[in-house]
Structure 1
Amino acid sequence: MTEDKKRGFAGGLTDYGDPDFAAYLRRSFARSMGYSDEMLGRPIVGITWTASGFNNCHRGVPELIEAVKRGVLAGGALPLDFPVTSLGEVYLNPTSLLYRNLMAMDVEEMIRAQPMDAVVLVGGCDKTLPALIMGAISAAKPAIVLATGPMSTGRHKGERLGACTDCRRFWAQYRAGIIDDKQIHEIEGNLATTQGTCAVMGTASTMAILAETLGLMLTGGAAVPAVHADRLRQAEASGLRAAGLVGSDLTFDRLITPASVENALRVLLAISGSTNAVVHLAAIFGRLGLELDPDLLNRISDETPVLVDLKPTGAHYMEDLHAAGGAPAVLRALRDSLHLDVCGVTGKTLGALLDESDPWVDPAVVRPLDDPISPQGGLVALSGSLAPKGAILKRAAASPDLFEREGRAVVFTSLDDLARRIDDPDLDVTPDDFLVLQNAGPLASGMPEAGYLPIPAKLARAGVKDMVRISDARMSGTAFGTIILHVSPEAALGGPLGLVKQGDRIRLSVAERRLDLLVAEDELARRRAAFQPPAGIDGTRGWRKLWRDHVLQAEQGCDLDILRAVSGKDRSA
């Protein structure tokens, strides 16, 4: 057996040209940490340390890691935590997505470089779970996901509040002049009152549920609140299972298959999950040489009802979903349309796990198939002359009366232009217009969550609550509105979105899955010839240069081209 194949501290030795010396030196330094001979002989389970003073969602990570260590030790392995990039959603400039791939590279390389036989991937905040999964796929070592869990709701004057759907609702009221400075300050202090990720079906909760669906975490692990004792028990059980994964072939690159991909898409639509999940799933699948097919997404959406009554499309919060039966309750409701023979980190099939799960469900939170929130899935993919390579709409969080219409484009050429003019009382805009934001895509701006364009102040004060909004940006999974996102190619590449001018006519048809720019081709040809790309993300050095040189568009998950698998058969690229 070569050194590379050995377990524990004997695995993946540092290369000094003398393997025996490398092993001797490593044992010597390991002994300086106080490990006994018995511990030095155990296999190693790594644990990602994603806590940071800039990441409120991960405030509970240290306690989770201690619980994971209990499980690892009980399983006969040695737990070693190690730091990786921590992505605190609201603390990163210009946007957290710009750093998701950096974190994925960090995770991949640290798993590969350090002597660990399995790894527990601890994280929760929006881009963290995708980054952990992407890195673990490429590292191809046994792994298991442990989500930090959603925060609990707060209270304000008798009303239950949860970040961040309620924060957006109150901010819209503040912009409309319905509430004043004192009230918004009071609300600010009651929106996020515990550790954990957003309390609604935002991106963090969506990705946790999809990780469970894909079989990458233990059953029931997605919805447990961050402050609940069950979260610590889930951590301990995850550590125990990670020890059991040592030497197995249950690696993410083998567990995620076309069948489990289809399951994930169906669950995404049934929970009316975040639009960001489409970008993250495309990136995850791309690590395996797989594609996220928009036609498949639409087909599944048309036949999959929305079953989960959670904000932003319903009334409840993630802590209610946990009490209602969690992700297993959703999976059981969809059982007849899922591939039940897929296998996960437990080594059991999805069908077997559902047979073992508690059959109780609260139908007020997880609706039965014959009484859905909506008869169709939460998301729909669009294409057309304005979005040749696609766009996405969260129709479950939109206004149906805006689905079939033609409107005049009110164009903002950048995020700065939007901030400068959106509340100008002289802005030429009506409720029937389409707000268009350009140059907010991956190359131009790092694709921030700016697609939730605010209703112009003068319209908000007049009672307008929704308009058609179009951009190459993303939006928070906690947001509500008729908002068309991820338009590709992005404006900065000279895609049709970048050619839209003030006053152009745009046609939206959700029924036909179309988004079209109603401008003559000869005029568009003149505009293309005169097109000048914006400066975009500064790509002169370091990580941002890698981003500028290698980032892909939204339909390929905004991953770096150098990190994707070449094909479904070659999963090591």
Structure 2
Amino acid sequence: MTFQPAEWPRKLRSQHWYGGNSRDTIYHRGWLKNQGYPHDLFDGRPVIGILNTWSELTPCNGSHVKELVEKVKAGVWEAGGFPVEVPVFSASENTYRPTAMMFRNLAALAVEETIRGQPIDGCVLMVGCDKTTPSLMMGAASVDLPAIVVTGGPMLNGYFQGERVGSGTHLWKFSEDVKAGKMTQEEFLEAEQSMSRSTGTCNTMGTASSMASMAEALGMALSGNAAIPAVDSRRRVMAQLSGRRIVQMVKDDLKPSDVMTKQAFENAIRTNAAIGGSTNAVIHLLAMAGRCGVDLTLEDWDRCGRDIPTIVNLMPSGKYLMEEFFYAGGLPVVLKRLGEAGVLHREALTVSGGAIWDEVKDAVNHNDDVILPAEKALTQSGGIVVLKGNLAPGGAVLKPSAATPSLLQHKGRAVVFEDIDDYKARINDDALDIDETCIMVMKNCGPKGYPGMAEVGNMGLPPKVLKKGITDMVRISDARMSGTAYGTVILHTSPEAAAGGPLAVVRSGDMIEVDVANRRLHLDIPEAELTERLSAWTPTHEQPKSGYAWLHQQHVMGADTGADLDFLQGCRGNDVGRDSH
């Protein structure tokens, strides 16, 4: 099938590179022909950039993503497009130091410029892990060319000694069991392989699965995309259908700004509550909204999510894994429930070209122990709780579905760790003055402090407490927590300690009050003393002097606004710029 420019409602962007017979056009077109492409591929059919985050050092985006690209290409060819695979920055939480979060914004910047600077009319975002999903969506939003998300999918269930094993979640659990003397080191090593028994992302409702669900709830992926296991043949079908769909999206000029509206973000927040999604989704959606120019705040998270029951019975909040979630009907069932409850913006547009309600209204729940009835929800008030007070003027977050109910109102003595190194040096010391009534506090682990805001907020409990059979304590930090983790963990405390927030001046022995019902996080010292401590505070950590670390340190925003780089906020569009040849 040969496409003529006249068939399209406007001149395609790629034709600024490939259309006509000028010297510059022949320069662009002629070089690409060294790949063996026939001349008629440049005749006005849409060029679809398949942005591939495959990397052998990003296991969540491993070989299965590479294979999915071929299916996307097949779909693009079938619909009359011209697919080109483009490798992009791939930041893995498993390998990147000091933390992959430090590189999310760098990846988004690289993706943005990759799209803008090349002859691409639309793009397919091949994502998987918890950082590639938001970074590609952020970059695409800043350019605002037609884009569709294809995720790699979760791993299959893990099993160890007859027990269902969730990747990440059981890493934390088994590690604590070893320290408590309930599991041997040899058993821990034996369990390692069962945590990751197939390709794919974490099989719990960790950040990767949460962000796949966010992409679908935002309308940026085809319905049903989030939960299909990585090795399931239906994942390949989804990839091929997405390849077909992006070509029509280019013809319709259906862009991220048409899909990622305030209503779409509110749908995503409510979905995150219903699935028991990761606290990391807060930071990523705030950052994406900032790229779209949508006014989204922490208050929106509390307002939209606080009365939504958590109905998806998955680890770390529940007992099942993503494989069962898919078999039960996946995210369309959850979205249908939200629609029936009157808390879904049914008319929100999706990449399908239709309203989200039309995509999910006929979804069927095949297992009501995996996707629970509202009256049997894991918690009736799910979502992400936003706490404020003199300890967190900018806010802090907590995930109630992963917390111990009895600790949601608690007053305790602070045991302070100045940073992650201080924590590691002292936590296993039986002489540490701590018991289960205390509140563990860790500083200098936020966007500037770590730097990059690592997933260290779910501090392991001291062995002396674990040996009593205690499995949870209140923990407060300016860090993040893995979406696979659990516990009464207060995170993203803003402003962070490294920026001189009140967290910086908390001392061991101070009393701290946590009152989740009233959204309060209070350092129990006189206001005058807090003011005096803050005025005497000086930074303690050495600042980077060059390179990306310096750029990040100078420009990263607080967790309460998404921890993006300040100069990357907003949409810069897709102007083709000047041809230099």
Question: Paired residue for 1:468?
Answer: 474
CA distance in 2, matches of 1:212, 1:539: 38
Question: Paired residue for 2:301?
Answer: 297
CA distances 1:281-328 after superposition (whole Å, capped 9, x unpaired): 110111122333333322333321111000001111001111000110
CA distance in 1, matches of 2:409, 2:247: 54
Question: Does residue 1:56 correspond to 2:59, yes or no?
Answer: yes
CA distance in 1, matches of 2:97, 2:431: 31
Q: CA RMSD in A?
A: 1.9
Q: Which residue type is aligned with residue 53 of structure 2?
A: T
Question: Paired residue for 1:316?
Answer: 320
Identify if the C-alpha distance between structure 1 residues 294 and 9 changes in structure 2 by more than 3 Å, giving closer, same or farther: closer
CA distance in 2, matches of 1:30, 1:214: 35
Deviates more, 1:78-87 or 1:363-372: 363-372
Q: Which residue type is aligned with residue 468 of structure 1?
A: V
Q: CA deviation at 1:214?
A: 0.8
CA distance in 1, matches of 2:299, 2:18: 47
CA distance in 1, matches of 2:111, 2:487: 35
CA distances 1:450-482 after superposition (whole Å, capped 9, x unpaired): 000110111112211100000000000111100
* Contact map agreement 1:275 1:392 (CA 8 A) in 2: yes
Deviates more, 1:69-78 or 1:23-32: 23-32
Question: Paired residue for 1:28?
Answer: 30
Q: Which residue type is aligned with residue 431 of structure 2?
A: D
- Any idea what SS the aligned residue of 2:302 has? helix
Question: Paired residue for 1:150?
Answer: 154
CA distances 1:11-42 after superposition (whole Å, capped 9, x unpaired): 3579xxx9921111122112111001222323
CA distance in 1, matches of 2:472, 2:244: 49
Q: CA deviation at 1:534?
A: 2.5
- Any idea what SS the aligned residue of 1:190 has? helix
- Any idea what SS the aligned residue of 1:515 has? strand
Within the candidate set 503, 507, 512, 1:501 is matched to: 507
Q: CA deviation at 1:524?
A: 1.9
Deviates more, 1:31-40 or 1:422-431: 31-40
Question: Paired residue for 1:353?
Answer: 359
Question: Paired residue for 1:443?
Answer: 448
Q: CA deviation at 1:57?
A: 0.9
Question: Paired residue for 2:578?
Answer: none
- Any idea what SS the aligned residue of 1:417 has? helix
Deviates more, 1:525-534 or 1:108-117: 525-534
Question: Paired residue for 1:424?
Answer: 429
Gaps of 5+ in 1: none
Question: Does residue 1:282 correspond to 2:286, yes or no?
Answer: yes
CA distance in 2, matches of 1:348, 1:464: 50
Question: Paired residue for 2:195?
Answer: 191
Q: Which residue type is aligned with residue 60 of structure 2?
A: C
Matches within 5 A, 1:174-323: 174-323=178-327
CA distance in 2, matches of 1:27, 1:117: 15
CA distance in 2, matches of 1:9, 1:258: 30
Deviates more, 1:272-281 or 1:287-296: 287-296
CA distance in 2, matches of 1:23, 1:295: 50
- Any idea what SS the aligned residue of 2:331 has? helix
* Contact map agreement 2:417 2:423 (CA 8 A) in 1: yes
Q: CA deviation at 1:526?
A: 2.5
CA distances 1:192-244 after superposition (whole Å, capped 9, x unpaired): 11111000000010011111011100010000000100010000001000111
* Contact map agreement 1:6 1:12 (CA 8 A) in 2: no
* Contact map agreement 1:152 1:162 (CA 8 A) in 2: no
CA distance in 1, matches of 2:531, 2:330: 52
CA distances 1:384-416 after superposition (whole Å, capped 9, x unpaired): 000000000011100111111211100000111
CA distance in 1, matches of 2:16, 2:83: 15
Identify if the C-alpha distance between structure 1 residues 571 and 507 changes in structure 2 by more than 3 Å, giving closer, same or farther: farther
Identify if the C-alpha distance between structure 1 residues 571 and 396 changes in structure 2 by more than 3 Å, giving closer, same or farther: farther
Q: CA deviation at 1:49?
A: 1.6
Question: Does residue 1:535 correspond to 2:529, yes or no?
Answer: no
CA distance in 2, matches of 1:353, 1:189: 38
* Contact map agreement 1:378 1:397 (CA 8 A) in 2: no
Matches within 5 A, 1:548-559: 548-559=553-564
CA distance in 1, matches of 2:299, 2:31: 55
Gaps of 5+ in 2: 576-581
Deviates more, 1:497-506 or 1:160-169: 160-169
Deviates more, 1:276-285 or 1:166-175: 166-175
Deviates more, 1:310-319 or 1:39-48: 39-48
TM-score by length of 2: 0.94
- Any idea what SS the aligned residue of 1:329 has? helix
TM-score by length of 1: 0.95
CA distance in 2, matches of 1:554, 1:563: 15
Question: Paired residue for 1:373?
Answer: 378
- Any idea what SS the aligned residue of 2:385 has? strand
Matches within 5 A, 1:406-425: 406-425=411-430
CA distance in 2, matches of 1:64, 1:572: 27
Question: Does residue 1:43 correspond to 2:46, yes or no?
Answer: yes
CA distance in 1, matches of 2:378, 2:14: 53
Q: CA deviation at 1:565?
A: 2.1
Q: CA deviation at 1:53?
A: 1.7
CA distances 1:238-292 after superposition (whole Å, capped 9, x unpaired): 1000111123331112211111111111111111100000010110111122333
CA distance in 1, matches of 2:524, 2:135: 39
- Any idea what SS the aligned residue of 1:481 has? coil
Deviates more, 1:540-549 or 1:497-506: 540-549
CA distance in 2, matches of 1:53, 1:359: 37
CA distances 1:326-356 after superposition (whole Å, capped 9, x unpaired): 110001111122111111111101121123x
* Contact map agreement 1:333 1:368 (CA 8 A) in 2: no
Deviates more, 1:28-37 or 1:269-278: 28-37
* Contact map agreement 1:539 1:547 (CA 8 A) in 2: no
Question: Paired residue for 1:394?
Answer: 399
* Contact map agreement 1:138 1:571 (CA 8 A) in 2: yes
Q: How many residues align?
A: 562
CA distance in 2, matches of 1:75, 1:505: 64
Q: Which residue type is aligned with residue 471 of structure 1?
A: S
* Contact map agreement 1:253 1:571 (CA 8 A) in 2: no
CA distance in 2, matches of 1:277, 1:529: 34
Identify if the C-alpha distance between structure 1 residues 543 and 13 changes in structure 2 by more than 3 Å, giving closer, same or farther: farther
CA distances 1:536-560 after superposition (whole Å, capped 9, x unpaired): 5x53222212211110000110001
Matches within 5 A, 1:67-106: 67-106=71-110
- Any idea what SS the aligned residue of 2:231 has? coil
CA distance in 2, matches of 1:275, 1:74: 39
* Contact map agreement 2:276 2:312 (CA 8 A) in 1: yes
* Contact map agreement 1:70 1:239 (CA 8 A) in 2: yes
